[in-house]
């Protein structure tokens, strides 16, 4: 292992050696930065796919039975006369969740930023296993294509919800979809492989490839969060893969793991899925928390408040994440006594979450706040994640969960965490590290307009969903007006839908800013945010192989406004003050 | 529309709605502290020329305070919640005098079975009514939920009752309706293409009405055979 890893700088220092062909450089690249950028483009595409599915869902829920504009483009098996069919509607909800969770948010946070940031922030030339890293990207793309193919097979896409509850998902005669259900399983197995490869890489790199002086407690919180996320990934994804293979066997070769008709257990799927699924929820939020911590400290020009608490809170959330899966199953018929224990472990997650929120506030307290676009979105993250965290308490308290379980209340909650949380963090991270990726800055004025319009329309979409859910509207209902008790709420559903269309439209500002700035953005100075991280010691974009000689690290990453640097309000990790001693370099590996 | 939980019509609604309000107050306080605090900080500590941020790495006392307060609150909330959870859902919570019904869910209907003239469920004179559950008011009832094909979920918002019906399992759910009238039963778990129309009704009768209805149905069922 070490010989491979240490051979890298010589074999791989492409920036200073023979120029590579376009294919080597941008397509079959082993450079962690290019792989991160590949993930970025691909997962932004899937984010768009997920968004397109979402607005169709909103059309149907807001205006059931009315012909949808442009629905003429859809085949008769999906919409007749422009009216969405029930079987297409459940494909929409299934694939919206699947694409957003597995192919947009997870790769955006982990595929992009674990790849891009870990070596740059730790001060190393590349990932520990660059070729495995390349495979991780190509497998993720393959998985996405397999998933997308579901829409183009005869019975249409998978139809059992993104949670694929068995036996509905296991029996084509009950779900109405055959091939697409199998494609879903195959895609998830391939994606899991990609995730495990990536995660092993991140873990190995963080453990073995830190620059001299980069001790564990000098690592930025983004790297801490990505490291813990990778551990969750390597342990959780195989569980889902195993479950998906069992489901595939149920669908194809006549096993009955999940079908009680022949002795299987329907609840087994839910236990396996959520044993993966709850750690997955933290895979989707921890990297966001880590990057937001970096950006909040930078924007506040203050050291992060309670660095050690922040690290332990990340670890605490990750640990608790393994013992709360049953809270998705309070109404499932699982023994109610188990419900009691899962309730307590779930409520306890509020503790590390609260620690994080208060420490972000503590960081801003008495700071000197710069409201650049990444900071605005990071503040958006803190305020919206708070709502998402607090609404979780309602469902964690089992008696209160009874009326709101499987209603729009949970839909509101998950979107406050995944959109208000993860996506706002990405709207912060993308412009923040954009200069490091492309050498140019995204437009600040456009970014500010995008932030405010998104912040407003987003709340108009998702806050009223709490009310709709309290009123009892079930999830995944093709037409809520079938129920008398839901009819009075329909105007609010229409309102949410209109706001959702606006929210979707506003995202084109971001897309435009992102693409336009690739060519027309302002050339970035070397350290545009006046940050302390090692990545800003490199040119923009950073060269292949990163550093010729990696810098020494003398302090943590959050030394803003330090009395030791009277002339500026930041003190980068690599700057040696007269009082600093050089770190002892690691002994050379055997056989080198 | 109500902007609130649906009107209450069972004995569970009292504790659940009260607990909902308690959590709303607790989370409301936390929300105001965080959001108002944020806005105040954003205004007060905005960057201005000549200002420098206060250099600090944190405060152990602050960490202890904001660890302890949520921890204590959450444990207390857990204990209170668990008391009501056990009262509503524990296997031993079903009152001995509850009238038993069978609720069999299948794509996309609810089959309600009733004890016939002998008053016992699971005997030959049971009769089944599709998509209609008739029960007496102010009397505990217990439903044995089963499913034919996939997972469904029995949900009556006004009763604050929800319980999945899972193939291969017999799951008992109980409640006591407090207001006579007609209520909708919805399916709360995605069960296939017709999930949205898997709707049924509960009729909560006065005791006299209920007895009359039951006699009529039992007679019709007998006569039909």
Q: Would you kindly state where each structural domain of chain A is located, as residue ranges?
A: 29-537
Q: Which helix (H) or strand (E) holds B4?
A: none
Amino acid B125: pLDDT: 86
Computed on alpha carbons and rounded to an integer, the radius of gyration of chain B in Å comes to 25
Q: What is the pLDDT of residues B124-181, one digit of tens each?
A: 889 999 999 999 999 999 999 999 999 999 999 999 999 999 999 999 999 999 999 9
State the complex-level ipTM: 0.96
- Mutating which of A400, A484, A488 best tests the B interface, going by the most B Cβ atoms within 10 A? A400
A323 shares contact with chain B (CB less than 8 Å): no
Q: What is the pLDDT of residues A169-228, one digit of tens each?
A: 999 999 999 999 999 999 999 999 999 999 999 999 999 999 999 999 999 999 999 999
Distance, CA of A259 to CA of A178 (rounded, Å): 16
User: Which residue does chain B place closest to A300, by CA atoms?
Assistant: B53
Amino acid A566: pLDDT: 85
Burial A3-21 (b: 16+ CB within 10 A, else e): eebbebbeebbbeeeeeee
Could you tell me if B152 and B138 are in contact, meaning their C-beta atoms sit under 8 angstroms apart? no
**DSSP code of residue A577:** P
Q: What is the pLDDT of residues B76-117, one digit of tens each?
A: 999 999 999 999 999 899 999 999 999 999 999 999 999 987
A264 shares contact with chain B (CB less than 8 Å): yes
Q: Identify which of B34, B71, B188 has the shortest CB distance to residue A474.
A: B188
Amino acid A311: pLDDT: 98
Q: What is the pLDDT of residues A503-517, one digit of tens each?
A: 999 999 999 999 999
Q: For A263, phi and psi rounded to 5 degrees?
A: 95, 5
The band of B122, judged by pLDDT with boundaries at 50, 70 and 90, is confident
Q: Could you say which residues from 341 to 380 on chain A have a Cβ atom under 8 Å away from some Cβ of chain B?
A: 343-344, 347-348, 350-351, 354-355, 357-359, 361-362, 364-371, 379
Q: Identify which of B34, B54, B192 has the shortest CB distance to residue A386.
A: B34
Could you tell me if B45 and A295 are in contact, meaning their C-beta atoms sit under 8 angstroms apart? no
Residues above pLDDT 90, as percent of chain B: 87
Cβ neighbours of B98 (radius 10 Å)? 16
The band of A6, judged by pLDDT with boundaries at 50, 70 and 90, is very low
Q: Which helix (H) or strand (E) holds B110?
A: strand B109-114
Distance, CA of B59 to CA of A306 (rounded, Å): 7
Q: Give, in order, the Cα–Cα distances in Å from B178 to each of B22, B51, B137.
A: 23, 64, 6
Indicate the burial class of A590 (C-beta count within 10 angstroms; 0-12, 13-18, 19 or more). Answer: exposed
Question: What's the whole-model pTM score?
Answer: 0.94
Residues of chain A neighbouring B161 (CB-CB closer than 8 A): 402
User: Which residue does chain B place closest to A566, by CA atoms?
Assistant: B52
3-class DSSP assignment, residue A562? coil
Contact residues for A204 (Cβ-Cβ < 8 A; gap 6+): A1, A5, A128, A129
Q: How far is A42 from chain B (nearest CA, A)?
A: 30
Residues of chain A neighbouring B170 (CB-CB closer than 8 A): none
Residues above pLDDT 70, as percent of chain A: 95
Q: How far is B101 from chain A (nearest CA, A)?
A: 17
Residue matched to tokens 């397509």: A27
Residues of chain B neighbouring A340 (CB-CB closer than 8 A): 82, 85-86
- Domains, chain B: 13-91 (1.10.287), 99-224 (2.60.40.420)
Q: What angle do CA A408, A410, A413 make, to 5 degrees?
A: 110
Q: Identify which of A265, A371, A406 has the shortest CB distance to residue B189.
A: A406
Q: At residue B18, does pLDDT exceed 50?
A: yes
DSSP letter for each residue of B30-89 = HHHHHHHHHHHHHHHTB--TT---------HHHHHHHHHHHHHHHHHHHHHHHHHHHHHH
Q: At residue A272, does pLDDT exceed 60?
A: yes
CATH of A29-537 among 3.90.600.10, 1.20.210.10, 3.40.50.720, 3.40.1280.10:
1.20.210.10
Which among A128, A137, A116, A111 is positioned nearest to A29, based on CA atoms?
Answer: A137
Residues of chain A neighbouring B40 (CB-CB closer than 8 A): none
Task: Taking each helix axis as running N to C, give the angle between helix A179-208 and helix A2-12, from 0 to 180 degrees, rounded to the nearest 10.
Answer: 90
* Number of Cα atoms under 13 Å in the Cβ half of residue A121: 30
Give the sign of the dihedral formed by CA A270, CA A273, CA A279, CA A282.
negative
CB contact under 8 A, A175 and B192: yes
Q: Identify which of B71, B166, B194 has the shortest CB distance to residue A333.
A: B166
């Amino acid at each position: 292992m070490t010989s491979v890893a240490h051979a890298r700088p010589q074999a791989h220092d492409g920036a200073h050696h023979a120029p590579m062909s376009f294919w080597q450089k941008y397509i079959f690249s082993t450079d962690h930065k290019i792989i991160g950028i590949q993930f970025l483009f691909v997962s932004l595409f899937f984010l768009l796919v997920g968004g397109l599915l979402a607005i169709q869902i909103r059309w149907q829920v807001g205006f059931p039975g009315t012909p949808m504009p442009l629905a003429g483009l859809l085949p008769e098996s999906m919409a007749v006369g422009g009216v969405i069919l029930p079987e297409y509607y459940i494909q929409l909800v299934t694939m919206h969740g699947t694409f957003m969770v597995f192919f947009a948010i997870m790769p955006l946070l982990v595929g992009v930023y674990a790849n891009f940031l870990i070596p740059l922030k730790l001060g190393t030339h590349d990932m520990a296993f660059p070729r495995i890293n390349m495979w991780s990207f190509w497998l993720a793309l393959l998985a996405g294509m397999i998933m997308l193919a579901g829409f183009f097979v005869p019975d249409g896409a998978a139809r059992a919800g993104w949670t694929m509850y068995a036996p509905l998902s296991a029996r084509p005669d009950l779900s109405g979809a055959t091939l697409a259900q199998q494609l879903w399983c195959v895609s998830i197995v391939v994606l899991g492989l990609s995730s495990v490869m990536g995660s092993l890489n991140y873990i190995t790199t963080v453990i073995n490839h830190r620059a001299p002086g980069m001790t564990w407690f000098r690592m930025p919180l983004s790297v801490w969060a990505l490291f813990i996320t990778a551990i969750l990934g390597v342990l959780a994804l195989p569980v889902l893969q195993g479950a998906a293979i069992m489901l595939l066997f149920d669908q194809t070769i006549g096993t009955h793991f999940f079908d009680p008709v022949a002795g299987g257990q329907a609840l087994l799927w839910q236990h396996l899925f959520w044993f993966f699924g709850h750690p997955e929820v933290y895979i989707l939020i921890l990297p966001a928390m880590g990057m937001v911590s970096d950006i909040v400290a930078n924007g506040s020009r203050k050291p992060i408040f309670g660095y050690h608490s922040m690290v332990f809170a990340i670890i605490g959330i990750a640990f608790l994440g393994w013992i709360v899966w049953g809270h998705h199953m309070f109404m499932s018929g699982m023994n109610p006594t188990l419900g009691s224990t899962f309730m307590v472990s779930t409520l306890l997650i509020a503790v590390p979450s609260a620690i994080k929120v208060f420490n972000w506030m503590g960081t801003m307290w008495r700071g000197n706040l710069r409201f650049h676009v990444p900071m605005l979105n990071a503040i958006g993250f803190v305020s919206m994640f708070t709502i998402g965290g607090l609404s979780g308490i309602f469902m964690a308290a089992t008696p209160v969960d009874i009326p709101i379980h499987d209603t729009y209340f949970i839909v509101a909650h998950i979107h406050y965490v995944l959109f208000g949380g993860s996506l706002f963090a990405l709207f912060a991270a993308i412009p923040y590290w954009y200069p490091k990726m492309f050498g140019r800055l995204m437009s600040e004025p456009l970014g500010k307009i995008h932030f405010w319009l998104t912040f407003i329309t987003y709340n108009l979409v998702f806050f009223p969903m709490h009310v709709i859910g309290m009123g009892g509207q079930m999830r995944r209902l093709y037409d809520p007006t079938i129920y008398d008790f839901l009819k009075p709420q329909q105007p609010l559903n229409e309102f949410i839908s209109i706001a959702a269309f606006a929210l979707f439209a506003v995202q084109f500002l971001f897309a435009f800013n992102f693409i336009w700035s690739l060519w027309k953005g302002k050339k970035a100075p070397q350290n545009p945010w006046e940050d302390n991280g090692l990545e800003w010691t490199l040119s923009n974009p950073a060269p292949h192989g990163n550093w010729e000689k990696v810098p020494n690290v003398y302090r943590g990453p959050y030394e803003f406004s330090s009395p030791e640097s009277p002339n500026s309000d930041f003190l980068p990790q690599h700057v040696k003050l007269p009082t600093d001693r050089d770190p002892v370099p690691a002994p050379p590996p055997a056989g080198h | 529309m109500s902007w609130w939980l649906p009107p209450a019509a069972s004995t569970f609604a009292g504790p659940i709605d009260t607990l909902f309000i308690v959590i709303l107050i607790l989370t409301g306080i936390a929300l105001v502290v965080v959001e108002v605090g944020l806005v105040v900080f954003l205004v007060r500590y905005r960057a201005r020329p000549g200002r420098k941020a206060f250099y600090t790495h944190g405060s152990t006392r602050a960490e202890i305070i904001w660890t302890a307060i949520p921890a204590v609150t959450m444990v207390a909330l857990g204990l209170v919640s668990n008391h009501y959870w056990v009262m509503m859902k524990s296997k031993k919570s079903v009152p001995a005098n509850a009238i038993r019904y069978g609720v069999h869910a299948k794509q996309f209907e609810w089959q309600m079975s009733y004890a016939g003239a002998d008053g016992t469920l699971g005997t030959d004179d049971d009769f089944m009514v599709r998509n209609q559950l008739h029960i007496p008011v102010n009397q505990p009832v217990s439903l044995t939920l089963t499913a034919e094909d996939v997972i469904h979920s029995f949900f009556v918002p006004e009763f604050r009752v929800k319980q999945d019906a899972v193939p291969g399992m017999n799951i008992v759910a109980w409640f006591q309706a407090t207001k006579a009238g007609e209520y909708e039963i919805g399916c709360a778990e995605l069960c296939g293409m017709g999930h949205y129309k898997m709707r049924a009704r509960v009729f909560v009768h006065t005791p006299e009405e209920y007895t009359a209805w039951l006699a009529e149905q039992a007679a019709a069922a007998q006569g039909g055979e």
